[in-house]
Amino acid sequence: MYPSIRVLLEMMSRDKAKLEELYIKTDKVLQDIIDDHRNRKDGKCEGNKDLVDVLLKFQQKDSEYLLTDDNIKAIIQLLPLRRQETERFLRLLLKRGMVGEAVDVGGELLKLSNNVISRMIMSKTHMKNDGEAEEVQKLVEDTAELTGKFNASDFIWFLKN
């Protein structure tokens, strides 16, 4: 093995260990936040509810959507990202409202959703100009059309020809 590769592998293994340690620490902090909210007098502090309190309600047996602690941790970690994109959206509405310009709220909400998803997946905002949101929507529609319509015989064996 080339000496330079050995050095590279050692560096990568050290970085992996550091990343795993960081993950464990972050996971513990987030779990402590969830546990702290869960242990608050069974939700009797009505005036001070926040996002974690609302998400914990989805862990109750009678909830239509069951969230795990890992789901809640992911939502907490992405909160700053969603906040930044929402602030961008609100600044745009304020700016256009101040000059009396019309706003396509549906298009801007689509752009907001696409930006949040893009940042979650690729750490980049891609919807900078007005036409990009429509392009993405058209791309999704075209992809859905190309994949075909739902056909029960594709999934249920006894309906196949």
List all residues 6 or more positions away from 159 whose beta carbon is below 8 Å from its beta carbon.
152, 153
Alpha helices, H only, 78-129:
79-98, 105-122
- How much is the pLDDT for 66? 81
**The one-letter amino acid at 125:** T
Q: How confident is the model at residue 90 (pLDDT cuts 50, 70, 90)?
A: very high
Give CA–CA dist 64/92, Å, rounded. 35
Q: Which residue has the higher pLDDT, 81 or 127?
A: 81
Q: Which residue has the higher pLDDT, 151 or 63?
A: 63
- How much is the pLDDT for 17? 75
- How much is the pLDDT for 31? 92
- How much is the pLDDT for 41? 56
- How much is the pLDDT for 151? 64
